[in-house]
Structure 1
Amino acid sequence: MEAPIERIKLSQTAKDQLQKLKRNTKIDQWNILCRWALCRSLAEPTPPSPVPIPQDSNVEMTWRVFGGEMSDILLLALKQRCHNDGYPTDKETLATQFRLHLHRGIGYLAGDPNIKKIEDLIAIALEKI
């Protein structure tokens, strides 16, 4: 499947929040934490607010690095979410919604006082089932 975005560059705020999550969970890879964040945001019933997100950090990765073996599944989940929210699924809309969901999810995970270790991430995922 064609990626909605070639390269992902995060905001400085998101980078700082990811560093906190890395310390707490001991997950060293940005891309793995970003996958958790995207899924966390996609699980919310409301769409993310359409706010401007600066690309002012030095954290950057390709879509393939972000998604890894799950890149097609994550893209399908994003497309389905756009469809459910009444948005088109063209490349530009997908890229915008991806950035909004990713940054919202990072904020949610970093702001959750209950996430102190990797098991806490798993507990959140199991709650939603």
Structure 2
Amino acid sequence: MSLDNVRLSQPAKDQLVKLKRITGIKNWNTLCRWALAISLQDPSQPLVRDINTDSNVEMTWKTFAGPYGDIYLALLRQRCLTDGQEPTEAHISHTLTIHIHRGIGHLAGRQGLKNIGDLISLAAP
């Protein structure tokens, strides 16, 4: 694993397709950023540790993070430390993957999520 590319599993891709339809957000990277933020907000560690990134959804780190790459990297490093892991590139990459997937699952499982306004209200209740 490396931070050069962000890859998703087929179930995560399927959930993103649903989220794109519901929210009207057209880009994978935008939804993945929301998913990461939602997951990092939860102090518990994700239960899933191994994820098969077998879908055709892949983006570069630059595409995923955009102009906020340093901020996302700092958040991931801090999360590694909080979870008792050395913030190596491998741990950071793994943390990114499991948190994006957990966040996508949280977003896709929300019954009341019907539009982008509902997504915004999750961030600023």
TM norm structure 1: 0.92
How far the C-alpha of 1:50 sits from its partner, in A, is 4.2
What's 2:17 paired with?
Answer: 19
Of 85-94 and 47-56, more deviation after overlay is shown by 47-56
Partner in structure 2 of residue 64 of structure 1: 62
The letter of the residue matching 1:98 is L
SS of 1:8 mapped into structure 2: strand
2:45 corresponds to which of 44, 47, 71: 47
What residue number does 1:123 align with? 121
**Hey, what does 1:90 align to over in structure 2?**
88
1:36 to 34, 37, 52: 34
2:75 maps to 1:77: yes
Give the distance between the partners of 1:11 and 1:102, measured in 2 at CA. 10
TM-score between both structures, scaled by the size of structure 2: 0.95
One-letter code of the match for 2:51? I
For 1:60 and 1:8, the matched residues in 2 are separated by 6
- Superposition deviation, residue 51 in structure 1: 2.6
Q: What is the percent sequence identity of the aligned residues? A: 49
Secondary structure, aligned partner of 1:61 = strand
**Which stretches of structure 1, 4 residues or more, deviate above 2 A after TM superposition?**
none
Letter in 2 for 1:13: P
Q: Please, which runs of 5 or more residues in structure 1 have no aligned partner?
A: none
Structural RMSD (CA): 1.0
Partner secondary structure for residue 113 of structure 1: coil
Q: Residues of 2 paired with 1:83 and 1:56: CA distance?
A: 28
Q: For structure 2, which runs of at least 5 residues remain unmatched after alignment? A: none
User: Aligned residue pairs: how many?
Assistant: 124
